[in-house]
Structures are given as structure tokens and as C-alpha cells.
Amino acid sequence: MERFKTDILIIGAGPCGLFTVFEAGLLKLQCHLVDALPTIGGQLSEIYPKKPIYDIPGYPSILAEELAANLMKQIEPFKPSFTLGERAEQITKLPSGHFEMKTNKNTIIEAPVVAIAGGLGCFEPRKPTIENIVDFEDKGVDYIIKDPEKFRNKKIVIAGGGDSALDWSIYLSDIALEVVMIHRRTEFRGAPESVSKVGELVESGKIRLITEAEVTGLKGEHILESVEIQRTNQEPLILNTDYFIPLFGLTPKLGPIADWGLNLDKNAIVVNTLDYSTNVEGIYAIGDINTYEGKLKLILCGFHEATLMVQSAYRIIHSGKKPGFKYTTVTGISGIE
């Protein structure tokens, strides 16, 4: 079980969570970010990495994935720490007045201030309807690939017909002992280059492709040992495997944050526009996850909210003291050691 202590715990490493680190860093506040996804960037990385964005001030056009990478570069001097691939699950207030947040993997982070930058919520994997699938989660069934090395020299079955299934099958065909791809149809929804690359790897025997098929059963004593595959107009097939990875996409859900006692309006957290504080002192909400009169779900607006929010957070952390205000052109950037 890992434990962290920080000044501001940021839930969500999308653009608004990342920019919070910068604004907090200017006030010498340390941040720790938690994201349910294994990568940073939120919607920028998960939904539209290759799309150009045209309304970021100073950038006539920037690819979403480049903006995420630039934000990471901009916050480097402030040395944030990260817990990725874990969902913020429970929050409790300690007698000290600090918050203690626990993730679904039991990591604990303590901080006097919590900034929720959870966007549309947690991207939850779409799970196939296999009766006992939950019994094998983390015991052979993975919905998100966090560390590809885990699959080195293992037998894996990947299901899906989109970019994720195609790209990971290609990548893992170099690492895994055996890659079997299962798809319900004969056509794929992914990028044409990836589809032809998979075709080549099937030809060369590095990927086994079974189309018009679905995984319908999982078997194993304590961990996954085999999958049952139903094929159209054919006998079912049993394949021995170490891992089954269904990659059917992700859908956002507000998730556990909905039970933290915060005022909500239609799945968004109601905030005071003075400082983007919630009804719980010390907990703020910025970016797509908050709501107020006139709210616009834009990156630019989330950046503004983050900037004002850390000013208020500073007062909580430093017993009511007001932070000094200086231009970066005057102070430059002095990082956190």
C-alpha cells in the first residue's frame, strides 16, 4: 500500500488538473495527481489526440496530444507526483482537518486541499456480458493495458474491432508468446493503416485472427486458464490463455465522487464562482466536472478556474494568509526541489 502526503491532491490528470500543478507551483504548493486512466491528458489523450484545437490562446492550432505533452513540460519544474491507473474512491476528513483519499487499489493520499478535475468522470471500460468476468478481473482479465511488459511471453486473447484492439494487438505481437484477436464482425472500425498492419501480422503468423466470433465463457481454478469462443455457424472453440483483454472502449461516469456529499446538479459539482469551492470546505471542483451559471466546458475556462482556485487553496494551506501576486515575467519559474 502506497501513501503520499501533498499540499493539493488533484483528482484527474486532464488539461485542467495538469495546469493546476503549474498555478499551484507558482505559489510553491506541491501537487499529487490521481487518474483512473494509465495515461495523462484526460479527454485530450483518450478521445481526440489527433484533432487540432483552435481556441487555446497563443496557439492558432495545436493537436490535442501536443497540448497534453506541452502541459506536462510546463509543470516539470514543480515535480508533481502521480498515481495513474487508479480511481479516487473514498474520502474522509481527518481530525487534523486534512483529507485522506483512498483509491480502488488502496493507495492513500493525504492533503489539506482536494481539487477535483474529474472532467466527464471516470472513463469506465465497457465490459462484455460474460457471467463470471468479475471473478477474473486482475486474475487474467484486463480492460486497460497499463504495463505491456506484463504480457511478455504470455498467451493473450484480445477482443474488439476498434483502434485500441488493433493497436495493442500489433504492439503485443512483438512481446507476447501468442496473440489471438477475436472480433464479432469481419470489418474493423480502426485506422486503415492499423487494419492492414494486422493483416500483415496475420499473414506472417504473429497474430491469429478469429472473426465473426465472441468470447462467451471464462474458465480457471484461481486465475484465468481458458476462454470459450462462439463462432457463427461453427462449433465453439476453447483456447488456453493467460490473459483475456476485451477492448470495447470506455464510457465516462461520475463514479464514486457522486457519493462524497458534494452538491450536485445533473452529474456536475456545484461550485461558488468566487474560487470554485464546493459545499465542503477544502474541496474544489474545476474544469468540465463543475457547474455554475454560464458554465462553458472549454479548456480555456478550466485554466482560468484552476488559477483562481489555487489562490483560495493557498489561504487554507497557510492559515488564511493571502498569496503574493507577481507576474511570471518578473519572477521567472523557480521550481520545487
Ligand X SMILES: Cc1cc2nc3c(=O)[nH]c(=O)nc-3n(C[C@H](O)[C@H](O)[C@H](O)COP(=O)(O)OP(=O)(O)OC[C@H]3O[C@@H](n4cnc5c(N)ncnc54)[C@H](O)[C@@H]3O)c2cc1C
- Rounded CA-CA distance 189/208 in Å is 18
Determine how β-strand 155-159 pairs with β-strand 122-125. Answer: unpaired
Map the footprint of ligand X across residues 35-74, applying CB under 6 A: 35-37, 42-44, 47-48, 53, 55
Contact 157, 140 (CB under 8 A): no
Nearest-approach distance from CB 77 to ligand X, in angstroms: 20
Please identify, using beta-carbon distances, which residue of 55 and 281 lies nearer to ligand X: 55
Map the footprint of ligand X across residues 257-276, applying CB under 6 A: 257
> Near ligand X by CB under 6 A, which window of 14-22, 185-193, 228-236, 311-319?
14-22
Please identify, using beta-carbon distances, which residue of 103 and 169 lies nearer to ligand X: 103
Rounded to a whole number of angstroms, the distance between the first and last alpha carbons of the chain is 25
**Could you say whether residue 101 binds ligand X (CB under 6 A)?**
no
Q: Write the interaction track for ligand X spanning residues 147-186; mark x where CB under 6 A is met and - where it is not.
A: ----------------------------------------
* Nearest one of 73, 147, 106, 93 to 4, comparing CA atoms: 106
**Could you say whether residue 25 binds ligand X (CB under 6 A)?**
no
**Could you say whether residue 21 binds ligand X (CB under 6 A)?**
no
Please identify, using beta-carbon distances, which residue of 24 and 227 lies nearer to ligand X: 24
Q: Write the interaction track for ligand X spanning residues 286-315; mark x where CB under 6 A is met and - where it is not.
A: -xxx-------xxxx-x-------------
Please identify, using beta-carbon distances, which residue of 20 and 169 lies nearer to ligand X: 20
Nearest-approach distance from CB 306 to ligand X, in angstroms: 9
Nearest-approach distance from CB 203 to ligand X, in angstroms: 35
Q: In this structure, how many other beta carbons lie within 10 angstroms of the beta carbon of residue 51?
A: 11
Determine how β-strand 52-53 pairs with β-strand 62-63. Answer: antiparallel
- Rounded CA-CA distance 269/243 in Å is 38
CA atoms 201, 203, 209, 211: torsion sign: positive
The full DSSP string for 254-291 is -GGGGGSS--EETTEEE-BTTTTB-SSTTEEE-GGGEE
Please identify, using beta-carbon distances, which residue of 117 and 215 lies nearer to ligand X: 117
**Could you say whether residue 80 binds ligand X (CB under 6 A)?**
no
Please identify, using beta-carbon distances, which residue of 27 and 63 lies nearer to ligand X: 63
Cell numbers that stand for 1 in this block? 500500500
- Rounded CA-CA distance 238/234 in Å is 12
- Nearest-5° Cα angle at 62, 85 to 124: 25
Please identify, using beta-carbon distances, which residue of 12 and 220 lies nearer to ligand X: 12
Among 118, 160, 161, 190, binds ligand X (CB under 6 A): 118
Nearest-approach distance from CB 164 to ligand X, in angstroms: 15
**Could you say whether residue 88 binds ligand X (CB under 6 A)?**
yes
> Near ligand X by CB under 6 A, which window of 120-128, 145-153, 198-206, 235-243?
120-128
Chain residue whose CB lies nearest ligand X: 119
- Rounded CA-CA distance 44/73 in Å is 16
Q: In this structure, how many other beta carbons lie within 10 angstroms of the beta carbon of residue 26?
A: 18
Among 8, 9, 10, 14, binds ligand X (CB under 6 A): 14
- Rounded CA-CA distance 190/331 in Å is 47
SS3 state at 310: helix
Map the footprint of ligand X across residues 203-232, applying CB under 6 A: none
Nearest-approach distance from CB 87 to ligand X, in angstroms: 4
Length of the chain: 337
**Footprint on this chain of ligand X (rule: CB under 6 A):** 11-17, 34-37, 42-44, 47-48, 53, 55, 87-88, 117-123, 255-257, 287-289, 297-300, 302
